[in-house]
Amino acid sequence: MEKTEFTRGLAVGKTVESYRIALEEEIHRWDGFARALRKDDREAFDALMDMCRSFASESSNATNPVVFEPMVMSMVLFLQKRINELEKRLSVIYQQANSAKANQELTAVNQIEAKTSLQTVSNGGEQTRLS
């Protein structure tokens, strides 16, 4: 059996390097930019790079020789999924808040009706209001 040689992630006869290796090289290329960021911005940058890594398998199927394009698409996809999740959570919160508000309003109406309801008692053919 013949041994396969690898050079910079390229197998002999292979024209495109492994996407994961190309991705890490591209991320490394941005190291200077990342080092110049403030701490919280650096954390956000690192999170974006992790987003790229999380879709590396899918991006490698795009067989795109430009590494940066699938990186951006990975970030956009991840962020869209996050937005969808947050919208669902927010919808539940709104529903709960509206339900609680409706219950409070109903309770307030019931209390007002109880206070202002007219009670009548019979007084020998006349009715007298008690409040």
Average pLDDT (35-40) is 95
| 26 contacts: CB under 8 Å, gap ≥ 6 | 67, 68, 71
30-34 contact pairs (CB < 8 A, 24+): none
pLDDT of 5 higher than 60: no
- In DSSP notation, 56-75 reads HHHHHTT--S-SHHHHHHHH
pTM for the structure as a whole: 0.57
At 119, is the secondary structure helix, strand, or coil?
strand
pLDDT of 120 higher than 60: no
| In the chain, domain spans | 20-111
Q: Contact at 8 Å (CB) between 45 and 81?
A: no
Mean pLDDT of the chain: 81
- Report the pLDDT value the prediction gives residue 106, as an integer from 0 to 100: 80
Average pLDDT (96-120) is 76
The torsion defined by the Cα of 7, 9, 11 and 16, in degrees rounded to 10, comes to -120
pLDDT of 107 higher than 70: yes
